[in-house]
Structure 1
Amino acid sequence: MRVLRQAARIPVALCVAGILLVIGIISMAGGGRGVLSPERAGADPAAIAQHHWWVLITSQLIAGSWPALIIAVVATIIVVGWAERTMGGARTVLAFVVTGTIASLVGLGLEYIGSRAGEYWTSSVSALDTLDPLTPIAGTLAWASAGANGIWRRRIRVLLLTGAVAMLLYSGLPSDLYLLVAVGVGLLGGRLTLGRSAIPHWRSSRRERRGLLALVTIVLALGPLLSLAAPVRFGLLAPLGVTMSDATPSGRMPRVGCGNGRFDLNCVNALGHAHLHGVGGTLLSILPLVLMLVGAWGLLAGRRAAVWMLAALGLVQSAVAAWYLGILPATTSAGPPPGRHNAELVVWVAASILVPFAFSLILLAERRSFPVRVARRRALVITGLLAGWALVCVAVALAGSWLLRDQFRPAATWAGLLADLPSRFVPSSFLRSQPLVLHPTSPLANVVVHGAGPLFWVGVIVATVLLLRGTGTAVVAPDAARIRSLLARGSGTLGYMATWAGNSLWTSSNASAGIAYRVVGGVAVTTSDPFGSPAHPGAVLREFVEFCDANAWTPVFYSVHEPVRATLAEAGWSSIEVAEEITVDPRGFSTSGKAMQDVRTSVNRSRRDDLRVRWATWSEMPVRITAQITALSEEWMSSKDLPELGFTLGGLDELRDDDVMLAVVLDTEDRVRAITSWLPIRRDGVLMGRTLDMMRRAPGAPNGVMEFVIAEAMSHFAAEGLVVVSLSGSPLAGAGAERAGAPLAQVLDLLARTLEPLYGFRSLLRFKKKFSPALEPLHLVYRDPVTLPAIGMAVARCYLPTLTVRGLGEILRDRQNR
């Protein structure tokens, strides 16, 4: 039923997918012949010359192969379906038709003009028939992105633009040009029909710049694979893709154009059409790309070492492209032969050199956005190990070749081995246009020749991972000595939890406010609202976010009240309710009335049993009492399958603070029947209230003892002149309407359901509601929906820092078997 309800929301997408499927099956069944053949239905400049205008539509509805058909149908259901839910069916149809038609018309027009002018690229691709349903799909997505929220709008557009540009640069097929045009038309269409900006705004935080640079790194890493895997390559950077592989058979230059040292288009085109061969050449091509992907991961984590590594790799890549595509061909002949395509050739070569060079400069210019530095000693150790590994690889290559010197042609000599050594680690096509000095003639010699390079690159990748995984040193928080003075100025109901172990303290630049937080997996989770006496709370929040960005952390404001949520919401942040805080004014508290009947009964029963409450701090309590409290807590914990929770839930260690007041229920024999602890709430140095933290009930204690101690607390605090008592919030027990369906809420609800049988958060919330309190929601506020899985895991690890996924699974299985 759920699937049917979802399908009913996307009739246009399903209709388009059905059309693509039917036409695709008919076309495939016809074996590429008839009216649906590529020659009749595909887009090419000849169709424009012959006024076959129907190709503007048919080329967008026919897939060229079964895999392409499957991808197109799935993409239509997912992408066009999302667009339909975002902007409605009518706009979706408009976007699909307009973007596909205009893209084909503009692309074919450019091809036609270029081919008539003799331009090399258009002349090369003019004979290709283009069939690509992904063009209108991408255009529709770009159009609908205007209806998405700010974060997703930017992300969708970055992915579409970078992907389309990469396809055009590295593959260079006509369909890639159509794709880029369709994305541009879609952005403009979204601007006109949905009223949102069509151009992404790049003014962003350092965290967002890190993400953008990591995305560009991924594109540059995967781009060469497009040119290597493509059967034909016409992209501007197709030669760059070839330089990253040993793409010429047996390490020789292609015979056409390059074999005689001529630097012309035949040479570049031959390089562009060459294919990979052998396991060694394949690994030597792919491993540097894997290294770039590892570097992209380091950029996301804010590691400055990743910046230096990728910048160095880009400069080396640029130098190799300059030597291989420029200097070497030019110096092995009298120079480029005259021809009308020489200007285009220069552009091709310049792009192959300048793109990685420019990206390296951009990385270096943005290095301050990557603050996490690896400890100097760790960097030196890993660098030394890598240098040693490189020497081992060189020694193995030389020694192995010398031992097998009779299995090379010509026979290996030390001079020949040294001259041939660079080709073991860099494809020989990088180095010269002549054949290799030594050629292996046996399988074993071939393994020696092609094995040292991949082993070296594997070592580089492993060393890079170890380097980037280092804890590193980042920007540190200011001195935490002012925490208690800040709490005295204004702590809020949950602010005193900032003093607990495991929290870090951040203070504002003017020292007027502080925020307590914990960093788990790169996510900085606050314990509650800012505390102190900030003159401008919004500025404090922005400053803390900048502090997190400087440390490459994802800021998450947890258990914050409405003022903080509202301030962040104005800046575009999202939120969900995670708990409900129970607050009571003790001055007006009474157990009279029907609603308080259960509490009144419990209080009367406890008084008949001669129970009493003793108020004191831990240091003021007799040893016999504190020993019982310790034993009670340990016994309570022994009944739980999970370790004691932390974060916003205090334990025995937190009771020892002299600012924490204990309310201990004793019987006539001074046995501890229950205990509660109360945290201070101060404003301008004056104690204004208390917040309930620990609650423990002794086994065998009379029913209603907890209601009794809380009711007594209200009377005690009213007598002290306090104006607010918070019964705190029950973690993970929020049930606000806004939580329904939110991805993070589902993660937190799963955690709450898992822990409910063990800790009873929701039953605790029901218990606290007995006291006729005011309910105030506590929120989790986050900036980026992409980080929701990491946020959910971080919150779980804050409460259970020592629990592993495996350990939780074992506990749940044990409970099911009982």
Structure 2
Amino acid sequence: MTRHPVTVAFVVMIVSAAALTGSLWGADASSWGAGPLATFAAGRWWTVVSALVIPDSPTDTVISVMLAMTVLAYAERLLGSRRVALLLAAVGIAGLVTGIGLHALAWTVTDLRPVVAAEVPVLDPTTAIAGVVMAASAYASTLWRRRVRLVGFAALALFALYAGDADSWYRVSAAVIGLAVGERLARGRERRTWHRSSTRETRTLLALLVAVVGSGPLVALISGGGRGPLSLVVDAYTQYDDELLERCSRVSAAVCDEQLALLMTRGLGPALLAVTPLILMLVAAWGLRLGRRAALILAVLTLVASAVIPLLSLVDGRLRITPWVDGSGAEYVLWAVATVAIPVTLAMVLFVARGRFPVRATRRAAATVTGVVGVAFLTCASTFFAIEALGRRSFDRDPSVLDLVLLTLRRFLPPSYTNSVGVATFPHHGPALFAYQWVGVVFWAVVIAALLWLFRRVQRPDAGDGRLYRELLERGSDTLGFLGTWAGNRHWYSDDRACAVAYRLVGDVALAIADPLAPQDRRGETLRSFSDFCVEHGWIPAFYSVHDDTVAELSALGWRHIPVGVETVMDLPGLTFAGKAWQKVRQPLIRAEREGYTAVWTHWHELTVTQASQVVAIDEEWVADRALPEMGFTLGSLAELNDRDVRLLLAVGPDGRIEAVTSWMPSWTAGSLTGWTLDFMRRRSDGPNGMMEFLIAKAALQLQDEGAAVLSLSGAPLAEAPDTPADEDPAPLRALLRWLADVLEPAYGFASLFRFKGKFRPRYRGLSLAYRDPLHLPAIGAAVGRAYLPDASRREIVALARTAWEGRR
């Protein structure tokens, strides 16, 4: 209420007006509505105001309130309360007056009169909302500006062109005016250009167009046939069998009653079969957005079929268009545009843009889907034939074997596609009627499920040459770059093979790990090229555990970011453990040396059998002690120790027993080894205290003598640097991460580990997750979770939840 007072006030006005006029209870409030006759002819000019606050039904009230509490609230956040209050009135009235004027003008044109909604006074608060939201889009970020405008105008056009009621056209008028007003208000503001690839942009736009073509006839059907200029297309999706009805009109009522035929070919099953092409278009639109080649083929075939079948019906005389009473030929033009021109044009555009949809399914997946669809067809067809053959007595006449075969073929396609196939006959009752109405629906449900499954089974590009990545790593890398060499990671390279990005592919999310390997002057180019590579393959790109300089480059490209951890770094030149500040490190170091413990540098392949067995035992004890899933991704395990570039530092007691183990990953600067990063940390549960402080201190001193400049103690997931200011009102995702850190602390002790590393007085470097689209965050979050716990069993997940719950209590 404090942040969005205008939105709250508008909602109160809508509900109050609906209650006072009775429209909230279903009463007729059309006397308050606006229109050419009500506003202009009757002179009730005040209706241009009342029509903007009074809904015409309970459903309209609910929709108006929902839109106000969401998109209007978003507009108020962008524009401010005063501007929203002014624009609600000004743009709403202007849009309504303009729409009414165009409505009245259209009635003066003879050819347009049949497709112009008759005088029904309009009551619609969403008219003003549409105008204000389009005005506010000028102040949105580039991503959301394009998204609001594309989706908004697509939805508005869909209702206007197919449903065709006056409300829909008035909303379009208000939206256009709001768009112009917003551009005028935002003139002179600095607005960043969106740098994402044209491939993604093209996919989104084409998917949206296919979705509109698929949903438009559904909107017209739901609205009772529609009066929009494109609503004539619904004739191609009727659930009635025209061939059957034609036969009924030629024979006596004693043989076939037309009403009975209508009854037999109606119902949920036939209705779903009739609109199957529209549903397939929506499925194709989903796949097109992901760049799937299978979706392209599906969309083109469905669009061509939906255009050719009605055209053939018109040519052979089975489809007739009755001219309007005045003899106008406009209906022929509108029918041709809606039914033929739009699908054919869109199919041609998709074919020309086929290069934008290169993501192919694997051969095995394609073969599986082909087999499933084939088996489904044979099963459904044979079952249907058997049921109909056994239920011959339920038919209107005794069908022959050929009739049943042709009838079987007819029941797998919408009626408008099969008017010329076979002799129309139908069962009256019993299992035969049930199979008649539902067998096609069952088959297409299997097909759609198989297609959606196919969209998820795509060919993966080559994982990349890991040896080249190591070569680039040695030319220059940050402290966490060595994480990219771990098993499970893939590698992307620039065209000249001089830049690289390591990434983990989890589902459709490509999680780039750490900073890219690229010269400073090519880092922005590398980030953009890798992002384009991901988009080309239908993946969601995200950069995980990147430092501030990479975040800055991504921010310049329009990306957003959130903190996901902190890296602790020790600068080795001039490091000594003298002074009171180092007392917590110096004491364990001196005590361990006095008691005869030594720090031994080695590599995994240099360990003796006894030493290797002890390291494995220490690790297994550490994992078993928690009974929790062991995390991976950026947290190393025993598997990462077997690398010739990774050094081990062991704490060995006087008796030769290994008490603790650490591993250290290298980092390079300009071809020289300049740093080491701590990864693996394990110690015996029954060993002496202070072993980790001892090993890290000894590592710092030894590596300092070797000339290293940086010692990284690695990142602490979900941690925040001590000097991070507390947000009074953190962003929802930031608040969620803080809550998650608290929940996981009893299980994994991230915060405890971070505090432990603070003993070494490190320099803190923030680690962030960079993402391009806020709507991708749920998928990215799920991918990060799966990357950290890829092999967790149900028992381990339950143990994790129990530990977290007990810790919270």
Fold shared per TM-score above 0.5: yes
**Contact 2:36/2:101 (CA < 8 Å) preserved in 1?**
no
**Which of these residues, 140, 150, 169, is aligned with residue 158 of structure 1?**
150
> What is the CA–CA distance in structure 1 between the aligned matches of 2:310 and 2:191, rounded to whole Å?
36
**Contact 1:677/1:692 (CA < 8 Å) preserved in 2?**
yes
Give the letter aligned to residue 338 of structure 2.
A
Partner deviation per Cα, 1:201-224 (whole Å, 9 max, x = no partner): 898442343333333333333322
Q: Equivalent residue for 2:136?
A: 144
**Which of these residues, 776, 780, 790, is aligned with residue 769 of structure 2?**
780
1:644 counterpart = 2:630: yes
Q: Equivalent residue for 1:228?
A: 221
Q: Tell me, what secondary structure is at the counterpart of 2:306?
A: helix
Deviation of residue 559 (structure 1)?
1.1
Deviation of residue 133 (structure 1)?
1.1
Q: Equivalent residue for 2:696?
A: 710
**Contact 1:508/1:514 (CA < 8 Å) preserved in 2?**
yes
**Which of these residues, 241, 252, 260, is aligned with residue 245 of structure 2?**
252
> What is the CA–CA distance in structure 2 between the aligned matches of 1:128 and 1:583, rounded to whole Å?
72
1:613 counterpart = 2:621: no
> What is the CA–CA distance in structure 2 between the aligned matches of 1:779 and 1:32, rounded to whole Å?
53
**Contact 2:115/2:229 (CA < 8 Å) preserved in 1?**
no
1:83 counterpart = 2:71: no
Q: Equivalent residue for 2:450?
A: 463
Q: Equivalent residue for 1:754?
A: 743
**Which of these residues, 74, 79, 97, is aligned with residue 66 of structure 2?**
74
1:321 counterpart = 2:310: yes
**Which of these residues, 200, 204, 214, is aligned with residue 207 of structure 2?**
214
Aligned in 2, Cα 1:385/1:9: closer, same or farther, shift over 3 Å? Answer: closer
Partner deviation per Cα, 1:456-491 (whole Å, 9 max, x = no partner): 322322332343232x21443543331221111012
Q: Tell me, what secondary structure is at the counterpart of 2:266?
A: coil
> What is the CA–CA distance in structure 2 between the aligned matches of 1:248 and 1:124, rounded to whole Å?
29
Q: Tell me, what secondary structure is at the counterpart of 1:588?
A: coil
Deviation of residue 138 (structure 1)?
1.6
TM alignment of 1:411-810, pairs within 5 A: 411-414=398-401, 416-417=403-404, 420=407, 423-432=410-419, 437-470=424-457, 472-531=458-517, 533=519, 536-734=522-720, 736=724, 741-803=730-792, 808-809=797-798
Give the letter aligned to residue 199 of structure 2.
R
1:23 counterpart = 2:17: yes
TM alignment of 1:325-474, pairs within 5 A: 326-327=314-315, 329=317, 339-414=326-401, 416-417=403-404, 420=407, 423-432=410-419, 437-470=424-457, 472-474=458-460
Give the letter aligned to residue 187 of structure 1.
L
Deviation of residue 123 (structure 1)?
6.8
Q: Tell me, what secondary structure is at the counterpart of 1:699?
A: coil
Deviation of residue 69 (structure 1)?
1.1
Aligned in 2, Cα 1:121/1:477: closer, same or farther, shift over 3 Å? Answer: farther
Deviation of residue 627 (structure 1)?
1.8
Q: Tell me, what secondary structure is at the counterpart of 1:529?
A: coil
**Contact 1:572/1:783 (CA < 8 Å) preserved in 2?**
yes
**Contact 1:284/1:427 (CA < 8 Å) preserved in 2?**
yes
Give the letter aligned to residue 368 of structure 1.
G
> What is the CA–CA distance in structure 1 between the aligned matches of 2:472 and 2:147, rounded to whole Å?
39
**Mean Cα displacement is larger for which, 104-113 or 804-813?**
804-813
Aligned in 2, Cα 1:306/1:157: closer, same or farther, shift over 3 Å? Answer: same
**Contact 1:611/1:667 (CA < 8 Å) preserved in 2?**
yes
Give the letter aligned to residue 287 of structure 2.
G
Q: Tell me, what secondary structure is at the counterpart of 1:777?
A: strand
Partner deviation per Cα, 1:65-115 (whole Å, 9 max, x = no partner): 112112212322222222222211111012212222122112111111121
Deviation of residue 442 (structure 1)?
3.0
- Identity of matched residues, %: 35
TM-score (norm 2): 0.90
Q: Tell me, what secondary structure is at the counterpart of 1:461?
A: helix
**Mean Cα displacement is larger for which, 278-287 or 203-212?**
203-212
> What is the CA–CA distance in structure 2 between the aligned matches of 1:750 and 1:247, rounded to whole Å?
57
Deviation of residue 58 (structure 1)?
1.6
**Which of these residues, 88, 98, 113, is aligned with residue 106 of structure 1?**
98
**Contact 2:512/2:542 (CA < 8 Å) preserved in 1?**
yes
Aligned in 2, Cα 1:19/1:753: closer, same or farther, shift over 3 Å? Answer: same
Deviation of residue 809 (structure 1)?
4.2
Q: Tell me, what secondary structure is at the counterpart of 2:661?
A: strand
1:12 counterpart = 2:6: yes
RMSD: 3.2
Aligned in 2, Cα 1:321/1:655: closer, same or farther, shift over 3 Å? Answer: same
Deviation of residue 397 (structure 1)?
4.1
Give the letter aligned to residue 382 of structure 1.
V
Give the letter aligned to residue 14 of structure 2.
L
> What is the CA–CA distance in structure 1 between the aligned matches of 2:22 and 2:264, rounded to whole Å?
28
Q: Tell me, what secondary structure is at the counterpart of 1:536?
A: helix
Deviation of residue 529 (structure 1)?
0.8
**Contact 1:187/1:198 (CA < 8 Å) preserved in 2?**
no
Give the letter aligned to residue 449 of structure 2.
V
Aligned in 2, Cα 1:442/1:718: closer, same or farther, shift over 3 Å? Answer: closer
Where structure 1 has 5 or more consecutive residues not aligned to the other structure, the ranges are 1-6, 261-273
> What is the CA–CA distance in structure 1 between the aligned matches of 2:87 and 2:794, rounded to whole Å?
45
Deviation of residue 414 (structure 1)?
4.3
Aligned in 2, Cα 1:313/1:340: closer, same or farther, shift over 3 Å? Answer: same
Deviation of residue 297 (structure 1)?
3.2
**Mean Cα displacement is larger for which, 396-405 or 523-532?**
396-405
**Mean Cα displacement is larger for which, 208-217 or 603-612?**
208-217
Deviation of residue 142 (structure 1)?
1.3
Q: Equivalent residue for 2:257?
A: none
Q: Tell me, what secondary structure is at the counterpart of 1:715?
A: helix
Aligned residues: 791
1:58 counterpart = 2:45: no
Aligned in 2, Cα 1:806/1:436: closer, same or farther, shift over 3 Å? Answer: farther
Q: Equivalent residue for 1:132?
A: 124
Q: Equivalent residue for 2:253?
A: none
Partner deviation per Cα, 1:521-540 (whole Å, 9 max, x = no partner): 21111120112557522111
Q: Equivalent residue for 1:266?
A: none
Give the letter aligned to residue 227 of structure 1.
A
Give the letter aligned to residue 209 of structure 2.
V
Q: Equivalent residue for 1:265?
A: none
Q: Tell me, what secondary structure is at the counterpart of 1:769?
A: helix
Q: Tell me, what secondary structure is at the counterpart of 2:533?
A: helix
**Contact 1:43/1:129 (CA < 8 Å) preserved in 2?**
yes
